[in-house]
Amino acid sequence: MGAWAIAVHGGAGVDPNLPKERQEEAKRLLTRCLDIGISALRSNLSAIDVVELVVRELETDPLFNSGRGSALTENGTVEMEASIMDGPKRRCGAVSGLTTVKNPVSLARLVMEKSPHSYLAFSGAEEFAKKQGVEMVDNEYFITEDNVGMLKLAKEANSILFDYRIPAVGTCGASAAMDSPLQMNGLPISVYAPETVGCVVVDKQGRCAAATSTGGLMNKMSGRIGDSPLIGSGTYASELCGVSCTGEGEAIIRSTLAREVSAVMEYKRLNLHEAVDYVIKNKLDEGKAGLIAVSKDGEVACGFNTTGMFRGCATEDGFMEVGVW
């Protein structure tokens, strides 16, 4: 029997001026999610069950950019996407363009287990959700006041927001840099760069799994698909490791970032930490991103080239850490 390990993230690209209380709120949520994952692992749930359970929790809380609290499209609607992968058999499921499915990650799991396909999107995915009897809600359920304010700011700055205050990152368009605290109509508004969520787990049997869920980029075009649902880009799991990414989707897609971690472990014989460092330094094609990863040997690692990344990890020997910078 090996040792379990778990890591969670709530996105890379954290604003350095993010108010302390929002940082603390995010850290509390990540800690709660780690605790849920830890007790599930202690009860011998499999890695794939644990990543789904933890990501559901993150989707249900409006704090991060997934499920309720998702970033909005240019039309002010929510189009969510998620994926999940089971390392040992390299089984996977993914969904995009969801507008009424309460927990996208669970629909991705159902695509993996109950459909002959790996990836369903838009109306076909919603039809499948209805047939599977998953919980569905109105699109308004996902839209938060914070995000309506953020969309307005994004439109004013004419920008697609990955991180609304980091100027002109890579392919993300015009600078949306703004002073803190932000104001709208002369009133301070509550702003918060909402970010993608993910979880990676290795269980006692050495099985790795990964899941990622997001609303994508603020002010994205309707129909835009990012890295999070793309197996190999935003999410990947193999018999060696499980990886979940966050950051500029277009750059992560060009770099097939999640798969690269597994590939360099396999072909360059690097351990998990070496593989994560190598990939962040050498394989990320001019973009800003971060990732969390676990290996079959119970190691856990994270890497990012952004200012910060909301993340937390825990291992069976009692180690637990939640960090931002």
Ligand X SMILES: NC(=O)C[C@H](N)C(=O)O
Q: Which positions are catalytic?
A: 196
> Rounded to the nearest 5°, which phi and psi values hold at 235?
-140, 140
The tokens for 181 are 């605290």
Nearer Cβ to ligand X, position 219 or 315? 219
Nearer Cβ to ligand X, position 80 or 272? 80
CB atoms within 10 A of CB 73: 21
Nearer Cβ to ligand X, position 69 or 216? 216
Nearby residues of 241 by Cβ (< 8 Å), 6 or more positions away: 87, 208, 261, 262, 265, 272, 275, 293, 294, 295, 296
Nearest distance from residue 94's CB to ligand X, in Å? Answer: 13
Sites of contact with ligand X (CB under 6 A)? 11, 65, 195-196, 214, 216-217, 226-228, 246-247, 249
Alpha helix segments (H runs only) across 157-215: none
Nearer Cβ to ligand X, position 144 or 196? 196
Three-state SS at 135: coil
Residue 103 amino acid letter = N
Radius of gyration, CA atoms only, the chain:
18
Nearest distance from residue 243's CB to ligand X, in Å? Answer: 13
Nearer Cβ to ligand X, position 56 or 220? 220
Nearer Cβ to ligand X, position 73 or 228? 228
Nearest distance from residue 176's CB to ligand X, in Å? Answer: 14
Nearest residue (beta carbon) to ligand X: 249
Nearest distance from residue 104's CB to ligand X, in Å? Answer: 13
Nearby residues of 14 by Cβ (< 8 Å), 6 or more positions away: 23, 163, 193, 195, 306, 307, 308, 309, 310, 324, 325
Angle formed at CA 91 by CA 11 and CA 299, multiple of 5 degrees:
50
Nearest distance from residue 289's CB to ligand X, in Å? Answer: 7
d(CA 200, CA 161): 26
d(CA 284, CA 253): 10
CB atoms within 10 A of CB 121: 17
Nearest distance from residue 111's CB to ligand X, in Å? Answer: 19
Token pair 């897609």 is at which residue? Answer: 253
Angle formed at CA 128 by CA 213 and CA 113, multiple of 5 degrees:
70
Token pair 């006692």 is at which residue? Answer: 204
Distance spanning both ends of the chain, measured CA to CA = 34
